[in-house]
Amino acid sequence: MKMGDIAGVLSQAQDMFTRVYELMLSAQRGVCILDITLMDRPGELGRVLTKISEKTGAELLLSYAYADTRSKIGHAILIYECGGEGGSRIIEAAREGGAIVMGAYYLSSINYREEHG
């Protein structure tokens, strides 16, 4: 990987984390962040997103999808606005849609403000 490529990847990561932080602070109920793995085939991510929408009605705030060009595996980070218990419903719907949930996190600006003033 060339140095310019590395700089581009780092810049994209910084932009994404800045956006996550902004979403966390603006979402009244908090955000649920899913790190998922799925097959890198046409329609796979769409099926997961549709299943989550149908089962939970949760609003997708941000998605970042990427694939490993050496394999048939795709990855995505999905961010939804949700209350504390809504996260488990989103996780279950993602699994029903065919995703492997590698990690799930709930962030709330209320918790952040309490810890950081």
Neighbours of 23 (CB within 10 A): 19
User: Which SS3 state, helix, strand or coil, does residue 70 take?
Assistant: coil
Could you please state the CATH topology (level 3) that the domain comprising 3-116 is classified under: Alpha-Beta Plaits (3.30.70)
pLDDT of residue 84: 65
83-109 mean pLDDT: 89
Give the C-alpha distances (Å, rounded to integers) separating 6 from 1, 3, 10, 13.
7, 5, 6, 11
Q: What would the pLDDT profile of 46-76 be if each residue is shown by its tens digit?
A: 999 999 999 999 989 888 888 877 888 999 9
- Domain map of the chain by residue range? 3-116
Spatial separation of the C-alpha atoms in residues 104 and 91, rounded to whole Å? 7
**Mean pLDDT along residues 30-58:** 92
**Selection from 61-65, 85-89, 95-99, 111-115 with the highest mean pLDDT:** 95-99
Q: Give the pLDDT band of residue 113 (cuts 50, 70, 90).
A: very low
